[in-house]
């Protein structure tokens, strides 16, 4: 996770030197997101971040997108998928 975050910060910096001013990383409550090491590297990188509560699918943007995609894009018969 730390390697991924570090590399992502480098890539974002090459695309927009001011990305830290208008970017917030949203992480779920997984242990590798909430560990002391991960929090330390995110502070060193200087990124704003939010850690959502465990199992808070309604707050996770990616979960909402995937639920929409599964329901609308890959489910032409509108069969129940288990999510909203």
How do residues 37-53 score in pLDDT, each as one tens digit?
999 999 999 999 988 87
For residue 80, what pLDDT is reported? Answer: 73
Burial of residue 70, with CB atoms counted within 10 A of its CB: 0-12 exposed, 13-18 middle, 19 or more buried = middle
13 vs 32: CA distance, rounded Å: 23
Q: Are residues 18 and 47 in the same domain?
A: yes
When divided into structural domains, the chain yields a total of 2
For residue 2, what pLDDT is reported? Answer: 87
Q: Are residues 9 and 34 in the same domain?
A: yes
C-alpha closest to that of 63 among 28, 32, 38: 28
Domain around 64: 55-84
**Report field, pTM of the whole predicted structure over 0.75:** no
């Amino acid at each position: 996770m730390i390697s991924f975050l570090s590399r992502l910060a480098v890539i974002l910096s090459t695309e927009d030197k001011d990305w830290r001013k208008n970017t917030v990383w949203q992480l779920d409550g997984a242990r590798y997101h909430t560990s002391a090491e991960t929090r330390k590297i995110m502070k060193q990188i200087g990124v704003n971040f939010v850690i959502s509560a465990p199992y808070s699918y309604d707050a996770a943007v990616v979960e909402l997108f995937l639920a929409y995609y599964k329901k609308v894009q890959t489910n032409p018969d509108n069969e129940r998928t288990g999510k909203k």
